Protein backbone atom coordinates (compact mmCIF):
# COMPACT_ATOMS: atom_id res chain seq x y z
CA UNK A 1 0.00 0.00 0.00
CA UNK A 2 2.08 2.94 -1.16
CA UNK A 3 -0.40 5.81 -1.20
CA UNK A 4 -1.28 6.59 2.41
CA UNK A 5 -5.01 7.07 1.73
CA UNK A 6 -7.74 5.54 -0.37
CA UNK A 7 -11.36 5.42 -1.34
CA UNK A 8 -12.94 2.04 -0.58
CA UNK A 9 -16.09 1.35 -2.57
CA UNK A 10 -18.52 -1.29 -1.31
CA UNK A 11 -20.05 -2.83 -4.43
CA UNK A 12 -22.43 -4.92 -2.31
CA UNK A 13 -23.91 -1.67 -1.03
CA UNK A 14 -24.41 -0.42 -4.60
CA UNK A 15 -26.11 -3.72 -5.54
CA UNK A 16 -28.35 -3.54 -2.52
CA UNK A 17 -29.22 0.14 -3.12
CA UNK A 18 -30.13 -0.59 -6.74
CA UNK A 19 -32.31 -3.44 -5.51
CA UNK A 20 -34.03 -1.23 -2.96
CA UNK A 21 -34.69 1.42 -5.63
CA UNK A 22 -36.02 -1.17 -8.09
CA UNK A 23 -38.39 -2.47 -5.46
CA UNK A 24 -39.55 1.05 -4.61
CA UNK A 25 -40.06 1.88 -8.29
CA UNK A 26 -42.48 -1.01 -8.69
CA UNK A 27 -43.43 -1.41 -12.34
CA UNK A 28 -41.11 1.42 -13.41
CA UNK A 29 -37.57 0.48 -14.44
CA UNK A 30 -34.44 1.94 -12.86
CA UNK A 31 -31.82 3.85 -14.83
CA UNK A 32 -28.75 4.17 -12.62
CA UNK A 33 -27.03 7.48 -13.31
CA UNK A 34 -23.29 6.80 -13.49
CA UNK A 35 -22.09 10.21 -14.69
CA UNK A 36 -18.95 11.79 -13.22
CA UNK A 37 -17.25 8.41 -12.87
CA UNK A 38 -20.30 7.07 -11.04
CA UNK A 39 -20.22 9.99 -8.58
CA UNK A 40 -16.59 9.13 -7.89
CA UNK A 41 -17.27 5.43 -7.22
CA UNK A 42 -15.73 4.17 -10.48
CA UNK A 43 -17.75 4.04 -13.69
CA UNK A 44 -17.52 0.41 -14.74
CA UNK A 45 -17.51 -1.42 -11.38
CA UNK A 46 -20.33 0.77 -10.07
CA UNK A 47 -22.39 0.39 -13.26
CA UNK A 48 -22.01 -3.39 -13.20
CA UNK A 49 -22.97 -3.55 -9.52
CA UNK A 50 -26.05 -1.39 -10.16
CA UNK A 51 -27.12 -3.71 -12.97
CA UNK A 52 -26.51 -6.80 -10.82
CA UNK A 53 -28.67 -5.22 -8.12
CA UNK A 54 -31.69 -4.49 -10.29
CA UNK A 55 -31.10 -1.40 -12.44
CA UNK A 56 -31.80 -2.18 -16.10
CA UNK A 57 -30.64 1.09 -17.70
CA UNK A 58 -27.58 3.30 -17.26
CA UNK A 59 -27.20 7.01 -17.85
CA UNK A 60 -24.19 9.25 -18.35
CA UNK A 61 -23.87 12.94 -19.05
CA UNK A 62 -20.77 12.54 -21.24
CA UNK A 63 -20.73 10.37 -24.35
CA UNK A 64 -17.20 9.23 -23.53
CA UNK A 65 -18.52 7.56 -20.39
CA UNK A 66 -21.29 5.80 -22.33
CA UNK A 67 -18.68 4.54 -24.79
CA UNK A 68 -16.44 3.41 -21.94
CA UNK A 69 -19.33 1.29 -20.64
CA UNK A 70 -19.71 -0.35 -24.05
CA UNK A 71 -15.94 -0.89 -24.28
CA UNK A 72 -16.16 -2.68 -20.92
CA UNK A 73 -18.75 -5.06 -22.34
CA UNK A 74 -21.86 -3.50 -20.80
CA UNK A 75 -24.80 -4.31 -23.08
CA UNK A 76 -27.66 -2.76 -21.06
CA UNK A 77 -29.43 0.26 -22.55
CA UNK A 78 -27.36 3.41 -21.98
CA UNK A 79 -28.64 6.97 -22.37
CA UNK A 80 -26.24 9.89 -22.74
CA UNK A 81 -27.35 13.50 -22.69
CA UNK A 82 -24.75 16.24 -22.62
CA UNK A 83 -22.70 17.29 -25.61
CA UNK A 84 -21.33 20.17 -27.62
CA UNK A 85 -21.21 20.28 -31.42
CA UNK A 86 -18.71 17.80 -32.84
CA UNK A 87 -19.51 15.14 -30.21
CA UNK A 88 -18.76 11.49 -31.03
CA UNK A 89 -22.26 10.75 -32.32
CA UNK A 90 -21.00 8.25 -34.90
CA UNK A 91 -19.34 6.15 -32.19
CA UNK A 92 -22.43 6.44 -30.02
CA UNK A 93 -24.71 5.24 -32.83
CA UNK A 94 -22.44 2.32 -33.72
CA UNK A 95 -22.28 1.33 -30.05
CA UNK A 96 -26.03 1.47 -29.59
CA UNK A 97 -26.05 4.36 -27.12
CA UNK A 98 -29.43 6.10 -26.79
CA UNK A 99 -29.10 9.84 -27.37
CA UNK A 100 -30.92 12.74 -25.81
CA UNK A 101 -32.17 15.58 -27.97
CA UNK A 102 -32.03 18.66 -25.78
CA UNK A 103 -31.89 21.30 -28.51
CA UNK A 104 -32.69 21.61 -32.22
CA UNK A 105 -28.99 21.54 -33.18
CA UNK A 106 -28.58 18.18 -31.45
CA UNK A 107 -31.30 16.62 -33.57
CA UNK A 108 -29.83 18.10 -36.75
CA UNK A 109 -26.30 16.93 -36.00
CA UNK A 110 -27.39 13.46 -34.89
CA UNK A 111 -29.50 13.01 -38.05
CA UNK A 112 -26.60 14.24 -40.24
CA UNK A 113 -24.46 11.57 -38.63
CA UNK A 114 -27.14 8.92 -39.16
CA UNK A 115 -27.27 9.76 -42.87
CA UNK A 116 -23.49 9.66 -43.06
CA UNK A 117 -22.95 6.27 -41.43
CA UNK A 118 -26.29 4.61 -42.13
CA UNK A 119 -26.90 3.62 -38.52
CA UNK A 120 -30.27 4.68 -37.02
CA UNK A 121 -30.58 6.56 -33.73
CA UNK A 122 -32.70 5.91 -30.66
CA UNK A 123 -33.73 9.32 -29.36
CA UNK A 124 -35.09 10.64 -26.07
CA UNK A 125 -36.41 14.16 -26.53
CA UNK A 126 -35.55 16.20 -23.46
CA UNK A 127 -38.06 18.90 -22.59
CA UNK A 128 -37.14 21.86 -20.43
CA UNK A 129 -40.21 21.74 -18.19
CA UNK A 130 -38.83 24.44 -15.92
CA UNK A 131 -35.27 23.65 -14.83
CA UNK A 132 -33.88 26.24 -17.22
CA UNK A 133 -30.93 24.09 -18.19
CA UNK A 134 -30.55 21.49 -20.96
CA UNK A 135 -33.71 20.66 -22.92
CA UNK A 136 -36.06 21.82 -25.64
CA UNK A 137 -38.29 24.71 -24.52
CA UNK A 138 -42.00 23.88 -24.79
CA UNK A 139 -42.46 26.47 -27.57
CA UNK A 140 -39.81 24.71 -29.67
CA UNK A 141 -41.12 21.24 -28.92
CA UNK A 142 -43.70 20.88 -31.73
CA UNK A 143 -41.09 21.68 -34.38
CA UNK A 144 -38.48 19.37 -32.85
CA UNK A 145 -41.02 16.53 -32.57
CA UNK A 146 -42.21 17.08 -36.16
CA UNK A 147 -38.63 16.92 -37.43
CA UNK A 148 -37.77 13.87 -35.35
CA UNK A 149 -40.94 12.00 -36.35
CA UNK A 150 -40.40 12.87 -40.01
CA UNK A 151 -36.91 11.39 -39.73
CA UNK A 152 -38.42 8.39 -37.98
CA UNK A 153 -40.74 7.78 -40.92
CA UNK A 154 -37.66 7.83 -43.17
CA UNK A 155 -36.11 5.13 -40.97
CA UNK A 156 -33.38 7.41 -39.63
CA UNK A 157 -34.36 7.26 -35.98
CA UNK A 158 -36.87 6.13 -33.41
CA UNK A 159 -38.26 8.55 -30.86
CA UNK A 160 -38.25 6.18 -27.89
CA UNK A 161 -38.45 8.62 -24.99
CA UNK A 162 -39.70 11.91 -23.67
CA UNK A 163 -37.90 13.07 -20.58
CA UNK A 164 -37.14 15.98 -18.32
CA UNK A 165 -35.36 16.87 -15.10
CA UNK A 166 -36.73 18.47 -11.93
CA UNK A 167 -35.39 21.67 -10.38
CA UNK A 168 -36.64 21.27 -6.83
CA UNK A 169 -37.36 17.60 -6.20
CA UNK A 170 -35.58 17.76 -2.84
CA UNK A 171 -38.52 19.85 -1.62
CA UNK A 172 -41.35 17.51 -2.68
CA UNK A 173 -44.15 19.97 -1.92
CA UNK A 174 -42.55 22.80 -3.86
CA UNK A 175 -44.98 24.24 -6.43
CA UNK A 176 -42.38 23.95 -9.23
CA UNK A 177 -42.47 20.15 -8.91
CA UNK A 178 -46.19 20.01 -9.68
CA UNK A 179 -45.82 22.67 -12.39
CA UNK A 180 -43.02 20.75 -14.10
CA UNK A 181 -45.05 17.53 -13.95
CA UNK A 182 -47.90 19.30 -15.74
CA UNK A 183 -45.66 20.64 -18.50
CA UNK A 184 -44.19 17.13 -18.78
CA UNK A 185 -47.61 15.53 -19.12
CA UNK A 186 -48.43 18.02 -21.90
CA UNK A 187 -45.18 17.20 -23.70
CA UNK A 188 -45.90 13.47 -23.53
CA UNK A 189 -49.43 14.02 -24.81
CA UNK A 190 -48.13 16.19 -27.65
CA UNK A 191 -45.59 13.55 -28.71
CA UNK A 192 -48.12 10.74 -28.53
CA UNK A 193 -50.69 12.87 -30.35
CA UNK A 194 -48.19 13.27 -33.16
CA UNK A 195 -47.85 9.50 -33.34
CA UNK A 196 -44.74 8.82 -31.25
CA UNK A 197 -44.79 5.35 -29.72
CA UNK A 198 -42.82 5.98 -26.57
CA UNK A 199 -40.93 3.22 -24.82
CA UNK A 200 -40.02 5.32 -21.78
CA UNK A 201 -41.26 8.54 -20.24
CA UNK A 202 -38.96 9.62 -17.42
CA UNK A 203 -38.72 12.49 -14.97
CA UNK A 204 -37.67 11.31 -11.49
CA UNK A 205 -34.19 11.77 -10.00
CA UNK A 206 -33.22 10.24 -6.62
CA UNK A 207 -35.26 12.72 -4.59
CA UNK A 208 -38.44 12.13 -6.60
CA UNK A 209 -37.81 8.37 -6.58
CA UNK A 210 -37.62 8.40 -2.78
CA UNK A 211 -40.46 10.81 -2.11
CA UNK A 212 -43.01 10.96 -4.93
CA UNK A 213 -44.39 7.88 -6.75
CA UNK A 214 -46.49 10.14 -8.98
CA UNK A 215 -43.24 11.02 -10.80
CA UNK A 216 -42.24 7.44 -11.67
CA UNK A 217 -43.74 7.04 -15.17
CA UNK A 218 -41.88 4.19 -16.96
CA UNK A 219 -38.36 4.81 -15.72
CA UNK A 220 -36.75 6.52 -12.74
CA UNK A 221 -33.23 7.99 -12.90
CA UNK A 222 -31.61 7.92 -9.47
CA UNK A 223 -27.96 8.83 -9.14
CA UNK A 224 -27.03 9.74 -5.57
CA UNK A 225 -29.34 7.13 -4.02
CA UNK A 226 -27.59 4.34 -5.97
CA UNK A 227 -24.47 5.23 -3.98
CA UNK A 228 -26.40 5.09 -0.74
CA UNK A 229 -26.67 8.79 0.07
CA UNK A 230 -29.82 10.74 0.80
CA UNK A 231 -30.70 13.57 -1.60
CA UNK A 232 -33.11 14.82 1.06
CA UNK A 233 -31.07 14.78 4.29
CA UNK A 234 -33.58 17.14 5.88
CA UNK A 235 -36.29 14.51 5.32
CA UNK A 236 -34.49 11.24 5.91
CA UNK A 237 -31.14 9.51 6.35
CA UNK A 238 -30.05 6.79 3.92
CA UNK A 239 -31.20 4.02 6.27
CA UNK A 240 -34.70 5.51 6.31
CA UNK A 241 -34.88 4.70 2.60
CA UNK A 242 -33.17 1.30 2.82
CA UNK A 243 -29.90 2.69 1.46
CA UNK A 244 -26.27 2.18 2.57
CA UNK A 245 -23.47 4.62 1.71
CA UNK A 246 -21.00 2.82 -0.57
CA UNK A 247 -17.93 5.04 -0.22
CA UNK A 248 -15.41 5.08 2.59
CA UNK A 249 -12.35 7.37 2.68
CA UNK A 250 -9.49 6.47 4.97
CA UNK A 251 -5.88 7.45 5.49
CA UNK A 252 -2.98 6.37 7.67
CA UNK A 253 -1.54 8.72 10.26
CA UNK A 254 1.88 9.81 9.04
CA UNK A 255 3.00 11.08 12.40
CA UNK A 256 1.91 11.53 16.02
CA UNK A 257 4.12 13.93 17.97
CA UNK A 258 4.09 15.72 21.31
CA UNK A 259 4.02 19.53 21.21
CA UNK A 260 3.75 22.13 23.96
CA UNK A 261 0.81 24.38 24.78
CA UNK A 262 0.70 27.46 22.57
CA UNK A 263 1.98 25.64 19.48
CA UNK A 264 0.59 27.24 16.32
CA UNK A 265 -0.67 24.58 13.93
CA UNK A 266 -0.48 24.65 10.13
CA UNK A 267 -0.51 27.74 7.88
CA UNK A 268 -1.33 31.05 9.52
CA UNK A 269 -1.73 29.28 12.86
CA UNK A 270 -5.52 29.27 12.57
CA UNK A 271 -5.39 26.81 15.50
CA UNK A 272 -3.10 27.00 18.53
CA UNK A 273 -2.78 24.16 21.02
CA UNK A 274 -4.55 25.12 24.26
CA UNK A 275 -2.31 22.76 26.31
CA UNK A 276 0.51 20.30 25.93
CA UNK A 277 -0.81 17.77 23.48
CA UNK A 278 -0.12 15.28 20.70
CA UNK A 279 -0.63 16.30 17.08
CA UNK A 280 -1.51 13.75 14.40
CA UNK A 281 -0.53 14.39 10.79
CA UNK A 282 -2.94 13.06 8.16
CA UNK A 283 -1.22 12.84 4.76
CA UNK A 284 -4.04 13.98 2.47
CA UNK A 285 -5.20 17.47 1.63
CA UNK A 286 -7.14 19.52 -0.84
CA UNK A 287 -5.37 17.94 -3.81
CA UNK A 288 -6.87 14.64 -2.62
CA UNK A 289 -10.38 16.01 -2.25
CA UNK A 290 -10.34 17.32 1.33
CA UNK A 291 -12.13 20.67 1.02
CA UNK A 292 -9.93 23.53 2.21
CA UNK A 293 -13.06 25.01 3.73
CA UNK A 294 -12.99 22.06 6.15
CA UNK A 295 -10.14 23.82 7.98
CA UNK A 296 -10.52 24.14 11.74
CA UNK A 297 -9.91 27.20 13.87
CA UNK A 298 -9.33 28.12 17.48
CA UNK A 299 -13.10 28.15 17.95
CA UNK A 300 -14.25 25.12 16.00
CA UNK A 301 -12.99 21.85 14.62
CA UNK A 302 -13.03 21.47 10.88
CA UNK A 303 -13.98 18.36 8.91
CA UNK A 304 -14.78 15.36 11.12
CA UNK A 305 -12.71 12.17 11.29
CA UNK A 306 -12.72 8.98 13.31
CA UNK A 307 -9.44 7.87 14.81
CA UNK A 308 -8.94 5.26 17.52
CA UNK A 309 -12.70 5.03 17.96
CA UNK A 310 -12.94 8.77 18.69
CA UNK A 311 -14.40 11.66 16.68
CA UNK A 312 -12.06 14.57 16.10
CA UNK A 313 -11.97 17.41 13.62
CA UNK A 314 -9.35 19.05 11.46
CA UNK A 315 -7.20 21.41 13.57
CA UNK A 316 -6.06 24.45 11.59
CA UNK A 317 -5.74 24.83 7.85
CA UNK A 318 -6.16 21.99 5.40
CA UNK A 319 -3.06 22.07 3.17
CA UNK A 320 -2.56 20.73 -0.35
CA UNK A 321 -1.59 17.25 0.78
CA UNK A 322 -1.97 17.13 4.54
CA UNK A 323 -3.88 18.28 7.57
CA UNK A 324 -3.43 18.04 11.34
CA UNK A 325 -5.47 16.64 14.22
CA UNK A 326 -5.12 17.55 17.89
CA UNK A 327 -5.15 14.06 19.38
CA UNK A 328 -5.10 15.33 22.98
CA UNK A 329 -2.50 14.89 25.75
CA UNK A 330 -3.30 11.24 26.42
CA UNK A 331 -3.34 10.12 22.79
CA UNK A 332 -2.41 6.51 22.22
CA UNK A 333 -2.42 6.76 18.42
CA UNK A 334 0.76 6.18 16.47
CA UNK A 335 1.91 6.65 12.92
CA UNK A 336 0.26 4.04 10.71
CA UNK A 337 -3.06 4.11 12.56
CA UNK A 338 -6.12 4.44 10.36
CA UNK A 339 -8.05 7.69 10.18
CA UNK A 340 -11.54 7.40 8.67
CA UNK A 341 -12.78 10.61 7.07
CA UNK A 342 -16.17 9.19 6.24
CA UNK A 343 -17.97 5.93 5.63
CA UNK A 344 -21.35 4.29 5.96
CA UNK A 345 -21.73 5.67 9.49
CA UNK A 346 -22.52 2.23 10.87
CA UNK A 347 -19.49 2.17 13.20
CA UNK A 348 -19.68 5.69 14.52
CA UNK A 349 -17.62 7.14 11.70
CA UNK A 350 -18.62 10.43 10.04
CA UNK A 351 -20.55 10.29 6.77
CA UNK A 352 -20.21 12.21 3.52
CA UNK A 353 -23.30 14.08 4.68
CA UNK A 354 -21.46 15.15 7.86
CA UNK A 355 -18.66 16.56 5.70
CA UNK A 356 -21.15 18.30 3.46
CA UNK A 357 -22.75 19.98 6.45
CA UNK A 358 -19.41 21.20 7.87
CA UNK A 359 -18.31 22.53 4.51
CA UNK A 360 -21.64 24.00 3.46
CA UNK A 361 -22.17 21.84 0.40
CA UNK A 362 -24.04 18.67 -0.61
CA UNK A 363 -22.87 15.08 -0.29
CA UNK A 364 -22.79 14.84 -4.12
CA UNK A 365 -19.80 17.17 -4.13
CA UNK A 366 -18.03 15.39 -1.28
CA UNK A 367 -18.05 11.92 -2.91
CA UNK A 368 -17.18 13.20 -6.40
CA UNK A 369 -14.21 15.21 -5.20
CA UNK A 370 -12.61 12.42 -3.13
CA UNK A 371 -13.51 9.76 -5.67
CA UNK A 372 -11.81 11.55 -8.53
CA UNK A 373 -8.64 12.35 -6.59
CA UNK A 374 -7.70 9.33 -4.46
CA UNK A 375 -6.77 5.77 -5.43
CA UNK A 376 -9.80 3.50 -5.25
CA UNK A 377 -10.20 -0.07 -4.05
CA UNK A 378 -13.27 -2.28 -4.13
CA UNK A 379 -14.90 -4.72 -1.79
CA UNK A 380 -18.12 -6.72 -1.96
CA UNK A 381 -17.61 -8.04 -5.50
CA UNK A 382 -20.24 -10.55 -6.48
CA UNK A 383 -19.06 -14.10 -5.79
C1 LIG B 1 -27.60 13.82 -12.33
C2 LIG B 1 -28.88 13.56 -12.97
C3 LIG B 1 -29.79 12.65 -12.42
C4 LIG B 1 -29.59 11.99 -11.08
O5 LIG B 1 -29.72 12.95 -10.05
P6 LIG B 1 -29.67 12.50 -8.53
O7 LIG B 1 -30.11 13.69 -7.78
O8 LIG B 1 -28.23 12.15 -8.24
O9 LIG B 1 -30.55 11.34 -8.40
C10 LIG B 1 -30.93 12.36 -13.13
N11 LIG B 1 -31.17 12.95 -14.33
C12 LIG B 1 -30.33 13.86 -14.87
C13 LIG B 1 -30.65 14.49 -16.16
C14 LIG B 1 -29.17 14.20 -14.20
O15 LIG B 1 -28.34 15.10 -14.74
- Please state the atom number of ligand 1 nearest to the C-alpha of residue 209: 9
Task: Name the CATH superfamily, with its identifier, for domain 247-379.
Answer: Lyase, Ornithine Decarboxylase; Chain A, domain 1 (2.40.37.10)
Alpha carbon 21 to its chain's center: 15
Q: What is the pLDDT of residue 2?
A: 81
- Ligand 1 contacts (CB < 6 A) are 33, 35, 165, 205-207, 221-224, 231
- Please state the atom number of ligand 1 nearest to the C-alpha of residue 169: 7
Q: 84 to each of 52, 81, 352, how far by Cα in Å?
A: 32, 10, 32
Q: Which residue's C-alpha comes closest to atom 13 of ligand 1?
A: 165
- Mutation probe of ligand 1 site: the residue of 205, 224, 225 with most atoms within 8 A of C-beta: 205
The span from the CA of 203 to the CA of 181, in Å, is 8
- Mutation probe of ligand 1 site: the residue of 17, 65, 165, 184 with most atoms within 8 A of C-beta: 165
Distance 146 CA to ligand 1 centre (A): 28
pLDDT tens per residue, the chain (383 residues)? Answer: 689 999 999 999 999 999 999 999 999 999 999 999 999 999 999 999 999 999 999 999 999 999 999 999 999 999 999 999 999 999 999 999 999 999 999 999 999 999 999 999 999 999 999 999 999 999 999 999 999 999 999 999 999 999 999 999 999 999 999 999 999 999 999 999 999 999 999 999 999 999 999 999 999 999 999 999 999 999 999 999 999 999 999 999 999 999 999 999 999 999 999 999 999 999 999 999 999 999 999 889 999 999 999 999 999 999 999 999 999 999 999 999 999 999 999 999 999 999 999 999 999 999 999 998 999 999 999 87
Question: Would you say the pTM of this structure is higher than 0.85?
Answer: yes
Q: What is the pLDDT of residue 380?
A: 95
Q: What is the pLDDT of residue 382?
A: 85
For the chain, residues classed under CATH 2.40.37.10 are: 247-379
- Please state the atom number of ligand 1 nearest to the C-alpha of residue 205: 9
For the chain, residues classed under CATH 3.20.20.10 are: 11-226
Distance 211 CA to ligand 1 centre (A): 15
- Please state the atom number of ligand 1 nearest to the C-alpha of residue 221: 10
Q: Which residue's C-alpha comes closest to atom 6 of ligand 1?
A: 223
Alpha carbon 296 to its chain's center: 27
As assigned by CATH, the class of the 11-226 domain is alpha beta
| Catalytic residue set | 35, 267
Q: What is the pLDDT of residue 1?
A: 60
The span from the CA of 134 to the CA of 59, in Å, is 15
Distance 167 CA to ligand 1 centre (A): 10
Please, which contacts does 180-184 make with residues 24 or more away whose CB atoms are closer than 8 Å? 180/129, 180/130, 180/131, 181/129, 181/214, 181/215, 183/127, 183/129, 183/130, 183/138, 184/127, 184/129
Amino acid sequence: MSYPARVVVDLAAIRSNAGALAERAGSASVLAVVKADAYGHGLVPAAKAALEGGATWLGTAQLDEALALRAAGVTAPVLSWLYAPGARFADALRQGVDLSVGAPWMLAEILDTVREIGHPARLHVKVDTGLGRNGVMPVELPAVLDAALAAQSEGLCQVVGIWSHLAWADDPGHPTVRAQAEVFADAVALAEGKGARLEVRHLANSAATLTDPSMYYDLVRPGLAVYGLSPVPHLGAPADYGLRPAMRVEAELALAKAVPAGQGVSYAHAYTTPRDTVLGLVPIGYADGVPRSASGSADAWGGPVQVGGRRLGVAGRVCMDQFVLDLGPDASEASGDTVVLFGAGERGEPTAEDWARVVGTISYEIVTRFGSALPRTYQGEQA
